[in-house]
Amino acid sequence: MARRNKILVPEAREGLDRLKAQVTNSMDPNQAKYEVAREQGINLQEGYNGNLRAKDAGKIGGNIGGNMVKELVKMAEKQLGQKYNK
């Protein structure tokens, strides 16, 4: 399945994939969405998912993306705290 999100800094893909794996407790970032879907009780399959409701798709992506943003904010706050405590 082709990725539709365009990353502004293509070199960041590997780091974002690592963060996604960390946030979802998954070893493989490409499988993270399937694991989240299973946890939510959503029948997500590889390939075509045209029968998936928008509400369910939002639960999957929102869960992953929201947790990634929270983790990035924590990391930034930690870095700022270290910077100003020196």
Fill in the DSSP letter of residue 6.
Answer: P
pLDDT (mean) for 31-47: 88
pLDDT (mean) for 9-17: 87
Q: What is the pLDDT of residues 40-59, one digit of tens each?
A: 899 999 889 889 999 998 88
Closest alpha carbon to 42 in 54, 32, 52, 27 = 52
Provide the pLDDT confidence category of residue 86 given band limits of 50, 70 and 90: low
Judge contact between 55 and 27, C-beta under 8 A: no
Segment among 46-50, 55-59, 71-75, 80-84 with least mean pLDDT: 80-84
State the pTM of this model: 0.62
Instruction: Please state, as a whole number, how many other Cβ atoms lie within 10 Å of the Cβ of residue 26.
Output: 17
